[in-house]
């Protein structure tokens, strides 16, 4: 059997984000208290002007960066900030406006289809309801969680790649799927941090606890982190 050195294991863990913890129970309260002290009102980085444009932005953001999505949606949302206006714009024009975003053809189609459904079944409004959101074309559980959280104030946990990795590294979850990590976060995160928890984890993962080179030297939860791949 191939032997792996401790250094190699550490490097691999730092790269992949696989959980390698020395102890079981994470200091959840202290972790989120620190995030809250640094950034009491964390905001998502997808630009939007209402619940509908938030929904469209999240649909467009799958496998794309928020920066890239924002560049395209500034022009799009100036022309169409309601389902009715989006339908008037038409699929071809929407496709042209979002063509810099990955998977734009399919996404433009879904934006039109979901707009049709919002007009036909929800009076042109974004529903404050998980099942109704997930029934919209292009909308999965993560997108529904983001909209329920940001547009309607529900303490949902949208698990993207950053939340997944950071949750593992901090020992908040060892779940193998986003749904399993979501369940752990819903169970573990104290209610007073529920509304902002996923934003803190996303921002921490995006700017500090990065996939390949986590900036552990400036990490606010460094001594609370039991991830063996940490760099300090
Ligand atoms: S110390 Fe901080 S940045 Fe480093 S792995 Fe742990 S949570 Fe991530």
CA 73 – CA 198 distance, rounded (Å): 23
CA of 104 to the centre of ligand 1 (A): 34
Residue nearest to ligand 1 atom 5, measured at CA: 230
Q: What is the pLDDT of residues 106-155, one digit of tens each?
A: 999 999 999 999 999 999 999 999 999 999 999 999 999 999 999 999 99
CA 214 to ligand 1 centroid distance, Å: 6
Q: 54 C-alpha to center of ligand 1: Å? A: 30
Average of per-residue pLDDT across 190-202: 97
Name the residue ranges covered by the structural domains of the chain.
17-43+156-224, 51-150
Measured from the Cα of 221, ligand 1's closest atom is 2
Q: What is the pLDDT of residue 26?
A: 87
Ligand 1 atom showing the smallest separation from residue 229 Cα: 5
| Cα of 213 from ligand 1 centre, angstroms | 10
Our mutation pick for probing the ligand 1 site, out of 226, 227, 229, 231, counting the most ligand atoms within 8 A of Cβ, is: 227
pTM for the model stands at: 0.87
Residue 177 CB-density burial (10 A; 0-12 exposed, 13-18 middle, 19+ buried): exposed
Ligand 1 pocket by C-beta < 6 Å: which residues?
A: 169-170, 208-209, 214-216, 219, 221-222, 225, 227, 230
Question: Cβ(211)–Cβ(225) under 8 Å?
Answer: no
CATH code of the domain occupying 17-43+156-224:
1.10.1670.10
pLDDT at site 8: 36
The β-bridge partners of 227 are 21
CATH 1.10.340.30 corresponds to the domain 51-150: yes
Give the CA count within 13 Å in the CB-facing half-sphere of 230.
23
């Amino acid at each position: 059997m191939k032997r792996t050195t401790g250094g190699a294991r550490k490097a691999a863990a730092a790269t992949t984000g696989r959980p390698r913890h020395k102890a079981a129970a994470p200091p959840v309260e202290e972790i989120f208290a620190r995030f809250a002290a640094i950034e009491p009102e964390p905001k998502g980085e997808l630009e939007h002007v209402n619940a509908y444009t938030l929904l469209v932005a999240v649909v467009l953001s799958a496998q794309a960066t928020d920066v890239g999505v924002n560049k395209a949606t500034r022009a799009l949302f100036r022309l169409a900030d309601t389902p009715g206006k989006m339908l008037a714009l038409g699929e071809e024009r929407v496709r042209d406006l979002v063509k810099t975003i990955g998977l734009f053809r399919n996404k433009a189609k879904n934006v039109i289809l979901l707009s049709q459904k919002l007009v036909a079944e929800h009076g042109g409004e974004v529903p404050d309801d998980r099942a109704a959101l997930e029934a919209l074309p292009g909308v999965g559980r993560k997108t529904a969680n983001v909209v329920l959280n940001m547009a309607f104030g529900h303490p949902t946990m949208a698990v993207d790649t950053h939340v997944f990795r950071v949750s593992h590294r901090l020992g908040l979850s060892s779940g193998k799927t986003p749904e399993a990590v979501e369940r752990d976060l819903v169970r573990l995160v104290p209610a007073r941090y529920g509304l902002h928890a996923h934003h803190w984890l996303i921002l921490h993962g995006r700017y500090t606890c990065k996939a390949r080179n986590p900036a552990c030297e400036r990490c606010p939860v460094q001594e609370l982190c039991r991830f063996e791949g940490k760099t300090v």
